[in-house]
Amino acid sequence: MKDKEGHGFYNEDNILKSNHKTLSLLYQTDQLMSPIGIRQAYRKLMSPTIVSGDLNNIAIGYVDSVDSEYAKRLAKKWKFHYLGDVAAANKQPQLEFVLQMHHHALELCKLDEPKLGAIKVDFVEGAVAHRRKFGGGRGQDIAKAVGLKHGFTPHVLDATAGLGRDAFVLAGLGCRLTLLERMPVVAALLHDGIERAKLNHEVAEVANNMQLIHGSSLEEMDLADAPDVVYLDPMYPHREKSAAVKKEMRIFQSLVGEDLDADGLLAPALALAKYRVVVKRPSYAPPLADKKPSMSINMKKNRFDVYVKKAIPKPIS
């Protein structure tokens, strides 16, 4: 069945009955929902082998000396080599990437392809700001996928946060977001974008709904507060040829490589989520771990695969 916009809709009770046996094979949550089990599931999502990847090909520096002290603090926080003035990168042939402080914002540059320009996280202007203002509010497909309803605004764990765009949309709709990012480079960019957004009066409230968790802060988490929804958007090869996608994908794939462990994210995600797991996939990609979802919401280029564990609570009248 489809709604008036052509999207599939569903009856949660029927889905739970028809998919219980299939989904129960994916997550055995009873033994995982203790604090120790939750921490283990978070660790699986963080994938320590990726977190501890080789960082010898990247350094952090500044474009203007006014940002030098902040760049030093970032280098210490994220354990990057401190370069000083980014012009010094020309004398270090082992470097492939530079994180640079430029106009009080952290940017990522690929040194051998300067025409690609710099990547930064910007929640105040550009496409993200336009989506916040004109994206359709709670009628957006992503809002439907996470189960955002009148009387229910979930705590969402974005376990593959990346540049935080989808998380920012959900936070703007009132959801409380916990963001996991395994790659220190990407986490540093995201942290910088969130902190800058907190200084802007238009989006400060949204940014304050977003808590970024990285490897060194995992032990500090409140493990009693399991998320209602876990959201996954693992990197997948894109077919689109647009300049924006090509630029970001070329930089991130050369930096991070392929997301070879993506299928392994589904089981710990299902162990953590109270109500559902949402997986964003390109329309041509198979389901994550080849596991059939409870439902899918199809869009032009992507889809949301939804794995329902139990029905979202109805508002108390």
pLDDT single digits (tens) 77-99: 999 999 999 999 999 999 999 99
Q: Are 171 and 128 in contact, with CB atoms under 8 Å apart?
A: no
Q: How far apart are CA 180 and CA 265, in angstroms?
A: 12
Q: Say which range, 5-9, 16-20, 152-156, 188-192, has the weakest mean pLDDT.
A: 5-9
Q: How far apart are CA 206 and CA 197, in angstroms?
A: 8
pLDDT of 15 reads 40
Q: Are 116 and 110 in contact, with CB atoms under 8 Å apart?
A: yes
Q: Say which range, 4-18, 103-117, 185-199, has the weakest mean pLDDT.
A: 4-18
pLDDT of 212 reads 93
pLDDT of 264 reads 87
Q: How far apart are CA 302 and CA 285, in angstroms?
A: 9
pLDDT single digits (tens) 194-237: 999 999 999 999 999 999 988 645 554 555 578 999 999 988 76
pLDDT of 288 reads 95
Quick one: pLDDT band at residue 249, thresholds 50, 70, 90?
confident
Note the pTM of the prediction, 2 decimals: 0.82
pLDDT single digits (tens) 138-156: 889 999 999 998 778 999 9
Q: Say which range, 69-83, 112-126, 224-238, 293-307, has the weakest mean pLDDT.
A: 224-238
Bridge-based pairing state of the strands 229-232 and 176-180? unpaired
pLDDT single digits (tens) 225-246: 789 999 999 887 666 555 555 6
- Those residues whose C-beta lies under 8 Å from the C-beta of residue 267, and which sit 6 or more positions away, are 26, 27, 44, 289
pLDDT single digits (tens) 11-26: 444 444 444 443 443 4
pLDDT of 177 reads 96
Residue type, 221: M
Q: How far apart are CA 145 and CA 143, in angstroms?
A: 5
pLDDT of 14 reads 45
Tell me how many degrees the CA angle 272-278-284 measures, rounded to the nearest 5: 140
Judged on CB neighbours under 10 Å (0-12, 13-18, 19+), 27 is buried
Q: How far apart are CA 203 and CA 129, in angstroms?
A: 9
**Which of the two residues, 308 and 30, has the higher pLDDT score?**
308
Q: How far apart are CA 84 and CA 65, in angstroms?
A: 9
- Those residues whose C-beta lies under 8 Å from the C-beta of residue 310, and which sit 6 or more positions away, are 16, 274, 275
